A and B are shown apart, each in its own frame.
Chain A
Amino acid sequence: MPPAIETVDLVKEYGELRALQELSLTVEEGEFFGLLGPNGAGKTTFINTLVGLVRKTGGEARVFGYDVEDDYQQARDAIGVAPQEFNVDRFFPIREVLEHKAGYHGVPADEAAERADEVLKRVGIYDKRNERFDWLSGGMKRRLLLARALVTDPDLLILDEPTAGVDVQLRHDLWELVTELNEEGTTILLTTHYIEEAERLCDRVAIMNEGRKVTVATPDELKGRGTDTIAVGLESTPASAPELGPYAHETTLSGDRLEVRVDDGGSIAPRLLNDLEARGYEIADLEISRTSLEEIFVDLTEREDRSVTRSTAESASDGDESETSETDTPPKREQEGVA
């Protein structure tokens, strides 16, 4: 079975601006895949290329093996997309909007009506079925976008920031629903600003920045690329921070509190305690905190920005046209080394 999404060196240019820069990504069938990135990273451009709203400038893009331009009908038939913006037909009650959408996918009229009711119930706005889109609340509009994406029973569900600006209850409802769908076999591509969302839902995430793929990994792998901080409370305030082994990347003393940055807090902590006791420090308490995915994300995208800026500056000074290479290396600990 071909991957749900496969892009190779995908490029989209708007004049001078390169919205997608040789983006190669693979999303396997049945995966829950997250696309993370700051505003302008190219996430929506990527999605719109798959569904036919953006024409690629170069490279390849396939959905379940179907080229998004040459085999656009098969590719689009497999996709249900809930976009970031509200782009719903205002002329008809929402139930009919869903019937029309199902009809465009070739669903017979009777079945389209049944499906419309079913998805409206599933997203919890069935009682609003005869209302027009403009009369719905913001949260209901968001639910309708999801219902419209589901009414065609897609194999690939694309959610472009589905929880942006919605309340906590709706966010949790949506999380529950998309998790169910994924468990039922639907491949899901989710773009989000909320790191917690990606961490909670996604099997793998790709971090994008300025149209490039920065890295692809599971949330746990990403978190593993960060460092942990062991905070040690001391019985008395020492004169200076202790000299520790190379496992300590950075050591900071603040009064009677010592903070040591290490790779793996859980395994290093006993050794650190032994070393401190051997040096005569009396320990009152200890706390280990992991680097959050959010910190990793910020670190990766900021490093990418620096890398691009540096590359651009070098290109400008050397007259060199070489591309900045993809950054797929761990953050912080390998870059900064031992304190």
Chain B
Amino acid sequence: MSVASRQLQSLIRREVLRFVRRPYNTFLPPLITNVLYFSVFGVILGSRIGTISDVTYIQFVLPGLVVLGAISNAFENASFSIFHGRWNEYIHEVITSPLSHSYTVAGYVLASALRGFIIGGLIIGVGFLFTSIPFAHPLYLVSFGVITTTLFAGLGVIGGLIAEDFDHLTVMNQFLLRPLVFFGGVFYSLDQLDGLAYTASLLNPMVYMVNGVRYGMLGMSEINPNTSLVVLTAATIVVLFVNLVLFKRGFGITD
């Protein structure tokens, strides 16, 4: 293994151990939240809503809840880890090391994406307790899982670098991320929207994620999954590039 690989591995190891060793903060909350979501939206309300495009309501909302859990955790992991490191200045341990800028970005993004991916998997596991999942296109499911968690881990890196207070992290999570998810077709079908609302929804990246994961799990999608993959991949490349530029400039880290 090369020196650079060992450097990257060390950063990923540190980042993964940080969330693995705190399951009450990282794994348990999304599990409980999703049991509640499935119980209320799936079982109690879902029985009154009936089916959407031939799938039960609980099956319909499941992909959206997987996306919600996965991206929230990917974003939160990267943003918190970086911001907390800045706040307490121990991010200097990384910055003063010979890790390249690109490997530093890779370390934070990959570890955070992994957390999002694991949480997404756990939510699918919870979903199994409430309904059946056909996994119509597993490769698409994995692809969308990887790309969405990577994208939001990258956004989390930006959030962690630009935040100046813990409040800013809350603002990003609650006032930006959550509305995008709720208006991203998690709980309703885009077909129910009129022309303007439908068009506006297409500007929301969440719509592509939710539909892509829904296609992978249920085989149904309101948007061509390949189009979604292209849009999300392009967005991810842009975000990772921004990450790299920020680290190169030492934004939020160096004076």
Contacts and interface: CB of A to CB of B under 8 A. Distances in A.
Interface stretch (B29-37, B95-103, B206-214, B217-225): B95-103
A51 to B, nearest CB: 4
A53 B6 contact: no
B204 interface: no
A8 to B, nearest CB: 21
Contacts of A53: 92, 95-96, 253-255
A27 B250 CA distance: 27
A106 B3 contact: yes
A92 B9 CA distance: 17
B90 A88 contact: yes
Among A87, A96, A108, the one with the most B-chain Cβ atoms within 10 Å of its Cβ is A87
A92 B92 CA distance: 15
Nearest to A19: B255
Interface in A303-334: none
Contact of B6 (A96, A103, A148, A152): A103
A20 to B, nearest CB: 12
A56 B124 CA distance: 50
Interface string B1-27: 101101101110110011001000000
B167 interface: no
B194 interface: no
B93 interface: yes
B254 A55 contact: yes
Given A77-B98, A104-B98, A52 B250 contact: yes
Most chain B beta-carbon neighbours within 10 Å: one of A77, A88, A89, A90: A89
Contact of A105 (B7, B92, B95): B7
- Which of the four size classes fits the interface of chain B? 20 to 34
A178 B85 CA distance: 29
Contact of A101 (B88, B93, B100): B93
Contacts of B85: 89
A55 B6 contact: no
Given A87-B89, A87-B93, A90-B88, A106 B255 contact: no
A89 B95 contact: no
A104 B92 contact: no
A80 to B, nearest CB: 9
B52 interface: no
B98 A73 contact: yes
A104 B94 contact: yes
A104 B90 contact: no
B125 to A, nearest CB: 27
- 7 tightest A-B CB contacts, nearest first: A103-B10, A106-B3, A104-B97, A87-B89, A77-B98, A73-B98, A89-B90
Given A81-B96, A92-B18, 18 more contacts: A51-B96, A52-B254, A53-B92, A53-B254, A53-B255, A54-B255, A55-B250, A79-B96, A85-B89, A87-B88, A87-B89, A87-B90, A88-B90, A91-B18, A100-B11, A104-B7, A106-B4, A107-B6
6 contacts: A73-B98, A74-B98, A77-B97, A104-B98, A106-B6, A109-B6
